[in-house]
Amino acid sequence: MSTTQSDRLRGLLEPLVAAKGLDLEEIELSKAGKRRMLRIVVDSDEGVELDVCAELSREVSDLLDASDVMGEDEYVLEVSSPGADRPLSEHRHYVRAIGRLVKFQLAEGGELIARILDVDDEGMDLEVPGVKGRKATARRIAFTDIAKARVEIEFNRKDKKEEEA
């Protein structure tokens, strides 16, 4: 997608998404056979429910139909929330991932898997799980030390409420 079209789409859609209390995370326009696929990813601190995506999809469709930003060619619109294992790239992504296990690709090389405990403007406090029965250790990491980060899906982790009971 051209930068100009991306900018036009973002300029058109961001006020609508923000009015719903959501963040416009990503706009992706790609070819899908003879049609184009417009994928819009939204998120919030509380997550995004399916009903909100459906309502937003109708409103985005109406807004796009009323404008010329998509041109005359057919397209398929998809409005969704980010996946559970999405990449973390913005400060707000790390804040939303507090308590989650994350796989970090370090800028200096190597990787680290740790749970985010707290996030501030410079970086975050982590809990690195112990190996072979050892206790977990605390670690501080700066945002500048991170090349990539992605939430790890945990199938067997108990919810904090379950742990406290």
pLDDT tens, position by position, 95-115: 989 999 999 999 999 999 999
The whole-model pTM stands at 0.71
pLDDT for res 163: 45
pLDDT for res 157: 65
pLDDT for res 84: 75
Task: Mark the ranges of the chain whose per-residue pLDDT is less than 50.
Answer: 1, 161-165
CA 100 to CA 123: how far, in whole Å?
15
Whether the Cβ atoms of residue 43 and residue 23 lie closer than 8 Å to each other: yes
In sequence order, which residues have a C-beta less than 8 Å from that of residue 11 and are 6 or more positions away? none
Q: How many CA atoms lie within 13 A of 107 on its CB side?
A: 7
Phi and psi, residue 135, nearest 5°: -70, 155
Residue keyed to tokens 């980010």? 82
pLDDT for res 5: 80
pLDDT for res 2: 52
pLDDT for res 111: 93
The rounded Cα 85 to chain-centroid distance in angstroms is 9
